[in-house]
């Protein structure tokens, strides 16, 4: 997410073998819409049952789900998130809702805010927004919102037919969540109930669709900002969210699957990372420190600190650039080239290896420099400026838009696996910006690279035990007239830095 109309002051620096440019820049970030050419085939509809592979069948006499109706139902871009239009209440109030696979609440603005154009007015819904009387709050590293849980009717203009009662968090106040001139008014969390707030009893949006429509428990996502400048003025859809299955016109080649390690975030197991053809040679547990997840609500590829440092070292060692400002790597500066010059030839490909469903094998996701050296703006028509689409993380590895834009991603919850295929919109000048290959032997890595799997019910028990210990210490300290123990309980808050309001163009 970015403040499109806000005036941003950034410093841009580039040092290359043949010259150095230092540009003080006042950056206006705008509404960036990207186009993709999607070839449509004859109308195909999907059944409300699944075949043996967990994928949807290709006929539906009731017409409840039509995949081609969902093609290009997302707008947005890689720096600001992708959103879908929903109609809430009766009569329907149309809202743009950010698609986020890294959270599980469906929340919409229900009160005025200076940074949004409109909000869901619960008083105008004749279907009567039903408050449950239960408060809900979600806190991100940057930004938070507070509201009340309720329920109302929701329809998806470019989704499955019908109107359904859905749990909705009405956002009544927020800080740092809505930013200037964004074009969305809420968030659609597509992860598992375990992440739902205030507790897992709140059924997430997609789970409700599966239960009410009987569609297969699978959705797929195409994000079409790959290799395109954030300053592009092209006005077109930004991608597709296919609910109930996969749409074959959106990808090419086979779908490669990796198991979902744990059903909270979409947690996967990363086996290794290569820069060019060189393995970083790290213990595979380094890649999965804390967790490794696939999250459409995160812009960048985020890596644990040790992995990030090793990657930057490997890139600088293999790059044709002799010197480079450290500010480029840490995200505080952009690098600028003369107009018409592109930097991608200076940088190597990046590859992630994921464990395959056959645990003794892996497959490789490769992104070209066009995906992680991202064009942001130009300066006076003479310079093109770029950012580094990778950042460090203290909360695990996050496969965000930097990687996802190269692939069609299948969230096959029915068979507890994620699929990756080449996206047909990840193309520039007729050439693909991503690659996928396999299978490869996983015999050279540990049988389990994910380390300790986080399980929130277990964390509850641990939390309560720690609280009991803290209470005991508090009593002792009070008796000794020492400063009381202060209990810090962060459960119920999403504090992962990979979450929504993080690493956007600000």
Mean pLDDT of 183-193: 95
Contacts of 462 (CB under 8 A, 6+ apart): none
In tens, the pLDDT along 132-145 reads 889 999 987 678 99
- Whether 5 and 180 have beta carbons less than 8 Å apart is answered as yes
Asked whether residue 409 falls in the same domain as residue 260, the answer is yes
More confident residue, 176 or 480: 176
Indicate which residue of 60, 77, 152, 295 is catalytic.
295
Q: How far is CA 44 from CA 6, 61, 73, 419, in A?
A: 44, 11, 17, 21
Asked whether residue 180 falls in the same domain as residue 304, the answer is no
Beta-strand pair 19-28/7-16: antiparallel
- Whether 145 and 106 have beta carbons less than 8 Å apart is answered as no
Asked whether residue 167 falls in the same domain as residue 209, the answer is yes
In tens, the pLDDT along 424-457 reads 999 988 899 999 999 999 998 888 898 654 544 4
pLDDT range class, residue 319, cuts 50, 70, 90: confident
Asked whether residue 265 falls in the same domain as residue 382, the answer is yes
pLDDT range class, residue 218, cuts 50, 70, 90: very high
Evaluate whether residue 388 is within a structural domain. yes
Asked whether residue 156 falls in the same domain as residue 262, the answer is no
More confident residue, 352 or 429: 352
Q: What is the CATH number of the domain that holds 246?
A: 2.40.70.10
Determine the Cα–Cα distance for residues 14 and 341; give it in Å rounded to an integer. 13
Mean pLDDT of 66-88: 87
Q: Calculate the average pLDDT of the chain.
A: 79
Asked whether residue 368 falls in the same domain as residue 460, the answer is yes
Determine the Cα–Cα distance for residues 20 and 72; give it in Å rounded to an integer. 41
Q: Which of the residue ranges 15-29, 298-312, 320-334 has the most confident prediction, judged by mean pLDDT?
A: 298-312
- Residue 414 CB-density burial (10 A; 0-12 exposed, 13-18 middle, 19+ buried): middle
The pLDDT assigned to 500 comes to 46
More confident residue, 256 or 78: 256
Residue 366 has pLDDT above 80, yes or no: yes
The pLDDT assigned to 466 comes to 57
For residue 409, the enclosing domain spans 220-465
Determine the Cα–Cα distance for residues 21 and 26; give it in Å rounded to an integer. 16
More confident residue, 128 or 54: 128
Ramachandran assignment for 183, one of left (phi > 0), alpha (psi -120 to 50 degrees), beta (any other):
alpha
Whether residue 100 lies in the annotated active site: yes
pLDDT range class, residue 102, cuts 50, 70, 90: very high
Determine the Cα–Cα distance for residues 162 and 220; give it in Å rounded to an integer. 20
Q: How far is CA 2 from CA 363, 386, 462, in A?
A: 34, 16, 38
Contacts of 349 (CB under 8 A, 6+ apart): 275, 276, 366, 367, 368, 369, 435
- Whether 34 and 77 have beta carbons less than 8 Å apart is answered as yes
The pLDDT assigned to 232 comes to 53
- Whether 112 and 173 have beta carbons less than 8 Å apart is answered as no
Asked whether residue 191 falls in the same domain as residue 263, the answer is no
Alpha-carbon torsion angle 45, 50, 54, 56, nearest 10: 0
Torsion sign over Cα 77, 409, 156, 176: negative
Evaluate whether residue 40 is within a structural domain. no
Asked whether residue 342 falls in the same domain as residue 428, the answer is yes
The pLDDT assigned to 66 comes to 85
To the nearest whole percent, how much of the chain has pLDDT over 90? 58
Determine the Cα–Cα distance for residues 352 and 311; give it in Å rounded to an integer. 12
In tens, the pLDDT along 117-172 reads 999 999 999 887 898 889 999 987 678 999 999 999 999 999 999 999 999 999 99
Indicate which residue of 100, 207, 217, 412 is catalytic.
100
Asked whether residue 201 falls in the same domain as residue 239, the answer is no
Evaluate whether residue 148 is within a structural domain. yes
Evaluate whether residue 88 is within a structural domain. yes
Mean pLDDT of 324-344: 87
Buried b or exposed e, range 69-98, using 16+ CB within 10 angstroms:
bbbbbbbbbbbbbbbbbbbbbbebbebbbb
DSSP structure class, residue 488: -
Mean pLDDT of 3-8: 32
Determine the Cα–Cα distance for residues 303 and 402; give it in Å rounded to an integer. 12
Which residue in this structure is represented by tokens 């709140």?
Answer: 202
The pLDDT assigned to 77 comes to 56
* Nearest residue to 256 via CA among 422, 381, 397, 115: 422
Whether residue 295 lies in the annotated active site: yes
The pLDDT assigned to 34 comes to 26
Evaluate whether residue 253 is within a structural domain. yes
Phi, psi of 256 (to 5 degrees): -100, 135
Q: How many domains, the chain?
A: 2
Q: Read off the tokens for 331.
A: 């995200």
Evaluate whether residue 266 is within a structural domain. yes
Asked whether residue 302 falls in the same domain as residue 207, the answer is no
Give the residue ranges of DSSP H helices in 278-325. 284-287, 305-318
Determine the Cα–Cα distance for residues 130 and 236; give it in Å rounded to an integer. 36
Evaluate whether residue 302 is within a structural domain. yes
Task: Return the number of other C-beta atoms located less than 10 Å from residue 111's C-beta.
Answer: 15
Contacts of 114 (CB under 8 A, 6+ apart): none
Asked whether residue 202 falls in the same domain as residue 226, the answer is no
Evaluate whether residue 473 is within a structural domain. no
In tens, the pLDDT along 375-402 reads 887 787 789 899 999 999 999 999 999 9
More confident residue, 73 or 469: 73
Of 450, 465, 480, which one is at a domain's C-terminal end?
A: 465
Of 215, 238, 254, which one is at a domain's C-terminal end?
A: 215
Q: What angle do CA 43, 46, 49 make, to 5 degrees?
A: 165
CA of residue 240 relative to chain centroid, distance:
14
Asked whether residue 274 falls in the same domain as residue 128, the answer is no
More confident residue, 458 or 320: 320
Of 215, 249, 270, which one is at a domain's C-terminal end?
A: 215
Determine the Cα–Cα distance for residues 386 and 39; give it in Å rounded to an integer. 30
pLDDT range class, residue 324, cuts 50, 70, 90: confident
pLDDT range class, residue 322, cuts 50, 70, 90: low
DSSP structure class, residue 56: B
pLDDT range class, residue 51, cuts 50, 70, 90: very low
Residue 502 has pLDDT above 90, yes or no: no
Q: Which helix (H) or strand (E) holds 186?
A: strand 186-189
First to last CA, the chain: 8
- Residue 126 CB-density burial (10 A; 0-12 exposed, 13-18 middle, 19+ buried): exposed
More confident residue, 14 or 106: 106
Contacts of 431 (CB under 8 A, 6+ apart): none
């Amino acid at each position: 997410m970015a403040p499109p109309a806000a005036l941003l002051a950034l410093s841009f620096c580039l040092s290359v073998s043949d010259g150095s440019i230092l540009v003080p820049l006042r950056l206006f970030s705008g509404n960036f819409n990207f186009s993709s050419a999607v070839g449509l085939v004859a109308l195909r509809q999907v059944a409300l049952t699944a075949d043996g592979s967990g994928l949807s069948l290709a006929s539906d006499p009731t017409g409840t789900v039509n995949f081609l109706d969902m093609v290009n139902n997302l707008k947005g871009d890689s720096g600001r998130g992708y959103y879908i239009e929903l109609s809430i209440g009766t009569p329907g109030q149309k809202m743009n809702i950010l698609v986020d696979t890294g959270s599980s609440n469906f929340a919409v603005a229900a009160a005025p805010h200076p940074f949004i154009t409109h909000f869901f007015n619960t008083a105008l819904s004749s279907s009567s927004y039903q408050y449950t009387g239960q408060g809900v709050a979600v806190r991100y590293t940057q930004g938070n919102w507070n509201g009340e849980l309720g329920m109302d009717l929701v329809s998806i203009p470019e989704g499955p037919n019908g109107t359904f009662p859905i749990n909705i968090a009405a956002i009544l106040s927020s800080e740092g969540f809505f930013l200037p001139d964004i074009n969305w008014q809420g968030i659609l969390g597509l992860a598992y109930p375990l992440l739902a707030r205030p507790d897992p009893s709140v059924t997430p949006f997609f789970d409700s669709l599966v239960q009410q429509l009987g569609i297969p428990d699978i959705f797929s996502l195409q994000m079409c900002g790959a290799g395109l400048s954030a300053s592009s003025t092209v006005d077109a859809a930004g991608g597709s969210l296919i609910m109930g299955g996969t749409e074959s016109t959106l990808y090419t080649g086979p779908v490669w699957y990796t198991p979902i390690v744990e059903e909270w975030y979409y947690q996967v197991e990363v086996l290794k990372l290569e820069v060019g053809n060189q393995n970083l040679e790290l213990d595979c547990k380094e890649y999965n420190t804390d967790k490794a997840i696939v999250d459409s609500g995160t812009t960048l590829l985020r890596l644990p600190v040790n992995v990030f440092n090793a990657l930057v070292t490997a890139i600088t060692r293999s790059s044709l650039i002799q010197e480079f400002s450290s500010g480029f790597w840490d995200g505080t500066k952009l690098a600028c080239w003369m107009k018409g010059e592109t930097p991608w030839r200076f940088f190597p490909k990046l590859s992630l290896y994921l464990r395959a469903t056959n645990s003794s094998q892996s497959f490789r996701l490769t992104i070209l420099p066009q995906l992680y050296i991202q064009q942001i703006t130009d300066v006076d028509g003479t310079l093109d400026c770029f950012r580094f689409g990778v950042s460090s993380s203290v909360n695990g590895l996050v496969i965000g838009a930097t990687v996802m834009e190269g692939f069609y991603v299948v969230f096959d919850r029915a068979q507890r696996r994620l699929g990756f295929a080449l996206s047909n919109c990840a193309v520039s000048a007729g050439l693909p910006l991503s690659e996928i290959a396999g299978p490869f032997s996983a015999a050279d890595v540990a049988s389990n690279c994910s380390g300790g799997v986080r399980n929130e019910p277990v964390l509850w028990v641990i939390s309560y035990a720690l609280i009991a210990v803290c209470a005991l210490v508090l009593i002792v300290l009070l008796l000794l007239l020492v400063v009381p123990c202060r209990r810090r309980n962060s459960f119920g808050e999403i504090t992962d830095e990979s979450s929504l309001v993080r690493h956007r163009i600000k």
